[in-house]
Amino acid sequence: MNVEKYVAVVDIGRLGKPAIVAHGGAGGWQVERVGEALQVLKKAVEVGLKQKTALDMVVEAIAVLEDSGILNAGIGSVLTFDGRVQMDAGLMYRGWAAGVGAVSYPRNPIRLAKEVYTRTRHVLLVGADADMLAAKLGLPKHPGPSASNFEKWVKSRMNAKKLKWAAPLLQLYGDTVGAVALDQEGHLAAGASTGGISLKHPGRVGDSPIPGAGYYAEDGLGACSATGIGETILLGMVCRKIVELLSKKSPVEAVKHVLYEHTSRFGADTVGVIVLSAEGEAVAGINTRAMPIGYGGMRSGVMLLERNGKVLEP
């Protein structure tokens, strides 16, 4: 397999310190929805840049994306096979990580992950007990499936009558969100949030709450956030691999290396990443059709990265 044909990497360039990069998921991306997604990413970057610590930059930027309702996270989360919202989110900052898996209660799972990070020494809380913590802390409650996602769920269940208990994974993902940030002090953070894969089996947890897989940050090296088919990202430990490679390769080379390897192992249409180095250099890569990106620092902007390497900038 000529993997280079399926992978596109863009060197966003030096953003300095502070800096932030956010994405709206690596998936199919129909043209008519891109404009809206880029607007939301622009806002997320602006809100992120107003924060002081890299942790808050990532949390607040992701919360904007979760609240948008047009991306597969928070309010816009896709539904499980039996029509429920079950979300995953996680973040890493200053050598520690915290994630929540298969949660339904919080409107903003990334805020619950921050509570786990600041209040406990646990790395992962899941399901009903994580939901109970969100309720106990008084976090805003998720309103339940959005009308448009419910409609899509009804249609996809009708189109897929053969399916008995969960959809096959391929091509049923998209629009997950993530962010990476570098603050004034030089600390790095990474985070991810998702409704997961639509028609997933209830209880399925993907890469987004797992450090090393869906996100990873190490001061002095870099930060990475991933999107795509969570099962492949978990097996590939994509973000940890990329961040570790930053000790000996440039960000562009590190992303290419891991995405080529991932594509030859799992095929195309499986992964997308955003990466920020400790020097504030930003890079993004995909082996999917496209990924919308927002970035800010010394320079700010939005772009759609396409598989053929084309970058559309409004």
- Looking at the Cβ atoms of 239 and 282, the one nearer to ligand ASP is 239
Ranked by CB distance to ligand ASP, the top (closest) residue is 230
- Interface residue with ligand ASP among 60, 131, 207, 218 (CB under 6 A) is 207
Structure tokens at 204: 């399925």
Element holding 52 (H helix, E strand): none
Report if residue 270 touches ligand ASP, rule: CB under 6 A.
no
The interface region with ligand ASP, picked from 15-23, 148-156, 204-212, 261-269 by CB under 6 A, is: 204-212
Report if residue 206 touches ligand ASP, rule: CB under 6 A.
yes
Report if residue 74 touches ligand ASP, rule: CB under 6 A.
no
- Interface residue with ligand ASP among 19, 103, 197, 278 (CB under 6 A) is 197
- Interface residue with ligand ASP among 109, 228, 285, 292 (CB under 6 A) is 228
Closest CA to 84 of 140, 124, 142: 142
Tell me the C-alpha distance between 10 and 259, whole Å. Answer: 13
- DSSP-derived letter for residue 53 is S
Report if residue 90 touches ligand ASP, rule: CB under 6 A.
no
- DSSP-derived letter for residue 259 is H
- Looking at the Cβ atoms of 18 and 74, the one nearer to ligand ASP is 74
Element holding 133 (H helix, E strand): helix 127-136
- Looking at the Cβ atoms of 67 and 175, the one nearer to ligand ASP is 175
Structure tokens at 154: 């009804």
Q: Which residues are catalytic?
A: 176
Distances (CA, A) of 253 to 40, 76, 275: 29, 34, 12
The interface region with ligand ASP, picked from 39-47, 89-97, 120-128, 168-176 by CB under 6 A, is: 168-176
Report if residue 145 touches ligand ASP, rule: CB under 6 A.
no
Report if residue 227 touches ligand ASP, rule: CB under 6 A.
yes
Report if residue 101 touches ligand ASP, rule: CB under 6 A.
no
Structure tokens at 69: 């309702």
Tell me the C-alpha distance between 198 and 83, whole Å. Answer: 9
Cβ 264 to ligand ASP shortest distance, Å:
20
CA atoms within 13 A on the CB side of 158: 6
Structure tokens at 143: 């309103």
Contact (CB, 8 A) for 259 and 8: no
Residues that bind ligand ASP (CB under 6 A): 25, 72, 88, 173-174, 176, 194, 196-197, 206-208, 227-230
